[in-house]
């Protein structure tokens, strides 16, 4: 009776036992090290150019403005001073502005996502025949608009003047963010998932809520951050359509504080030179404090969304 020999099993070889192969492993040359060093220096220089202005504003806001004016403040605060922040927060309108801006930003961003994501999902479905026409109409509004006066008259007829909803409803959807979300749904959500959902009896709404949304955390974070920053920095809406001080957002309140201090500084021009210099220094410190107060929440929020932002910001890029 003949027997069949079993195939020999090759013994496992650890990585440290693999002999050196010049075709798979190449030693780094001097030119490779030079290129790496040049790239590292360029990255450091770019980071310094971007980060240093913000760092200087933070340092200057806590420094003696006499030293700042003389160019003695560069990296670290000198003559620790918080007079600028005291002047800013002494104005009770600052808290009203913060409350209003947080309300407009949170509610506005939530509405933006509720409107943008379903619209982008619908426009990404091939079986939705009018999608190209609707997308064209959306895109048309990116390039052509009525202007400030027609918008003002329209908002007046709609009762949105001196109404907090003027910060929310007119900008409920951004066409740019809509296109980004649509590209994500088309390129990153496999169609096989929809086929499987149909077999399981899920409707379009169920498929969108139970499958698409959980897989779209990156795009939700990206466009959510875009919307959040847009609402937070919006001062033009309050400048044009809001007259009631109790509805002004933070950016408009900070603008009024800056203008008031500049007016006081200009009005003191007839006084002594030393007094004018002191008022100018206070105005400068208030300016630095206003910048920090208006940007600090965004700086705090961004690190938590950075991993989603880095992943989603390349959505729609050409892939090889």
Domain boundaries, the chain: 31-81, 92-312
Instruction: Return per-residue pLDDT of the chain as tens, 320 residues.
Output: 444 444 555 555 554 554 555 555 567 788 888 999 999 999 999 988 988 888 888 888 888 777 777 778 888 888 887 877 887 788 788 888 889 999 999 999 999 999 999 999 999 998 888 999 999 999 998 888 888 899 999 999 999 999 999 999 998 999 999 999 998 998 888 888 888 888 888 888 999 999 999 988 888 988 998 899 899 989 899 999 998 888 999 888 888 877 877 666 555 555 556 666 776 777 777 778 888 888 888 778 777 776 666 555 555 454 44
Residues 6+ apart with CB under 8 A from 221: 305, 308, 309, 312
- Surface-to-core class of residue 115, CB atoms within 10 Å of its CB (0-12 exposed, 13-18 middle, 19+ buried): middle
Give 46-55 contacts, CB < 8 A, sequence gap 24+.
none
Give the side-chain half-sphere CA count within 13 A for 58.
Answer: 10
Please give the CATH number for the structural domain made up of 92-312: 1.10.3720.10
Phi, psi of 242 (to 5 degrees): -120, 125
């Amino acid at each position: 009776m003949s027997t069949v020999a079993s195939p020999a099993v090759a013994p496992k070889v650890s990585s440290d036992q693999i002999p050196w192969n010049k075709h798979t492993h190449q030693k780094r040359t001097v030119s490779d090290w030079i290129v790496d060093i040049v790239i590292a220096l360029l990255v450091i220089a770019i980071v310094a150019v971007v980060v240093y202005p913000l760092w200087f504003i933070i340092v200057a806001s806590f420094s003696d403005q006499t030293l700042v004016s003389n160019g003695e403040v560069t990296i670290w605060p000198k003559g620790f001073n918080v007079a600028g922040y005291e002047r800013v927060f002494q104005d009770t309108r600052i808290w009203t502005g913060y409350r209003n801006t947080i309300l407009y930003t949170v509610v506005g961003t939530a509405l933006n996502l509720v409107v943008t994501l379903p619209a982008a999902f619908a426009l990404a479905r091939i079986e939705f025949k009018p999608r190209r026409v609707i997308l064209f109409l959306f895109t048309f509004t990116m390039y052509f608009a009525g202007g400030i006066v027609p918008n003002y008259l329209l908002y007046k007829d709609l009762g949105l003047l001196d109404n907090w909803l003027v910060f929310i409803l007119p900008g409920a959807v951004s066409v740019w963010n809509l296109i980004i979300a649509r590209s994500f749904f088309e390129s990153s959500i496999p169609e096989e998932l929809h086929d499987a959902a149909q077999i399981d009896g899920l409707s379009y709404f169920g498929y969108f809520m139970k499958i698409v949304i959980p897989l779209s955390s990156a795009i939700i974070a990206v466009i959510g951050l875009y919307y959040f920053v847009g609402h937070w920095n919006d001062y033009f809406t309050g400048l044009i359509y809001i007259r009631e001080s109790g509805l002004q957002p933070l950016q408009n309140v900070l603008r009024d504080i800056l203008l008031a201090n500049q007016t006081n500084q200009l009005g003191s021009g007839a006084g002594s030179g030393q007094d004018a210099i002191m008022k100018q220094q206070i105005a400068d410190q208030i300016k630095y404090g206003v910048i920090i107060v208006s940007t600090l929440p965004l700086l705090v929020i961004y690190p938590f969304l950075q991993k989603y932002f880095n992943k989603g910001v390349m959505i729609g890029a050409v892939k090889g």
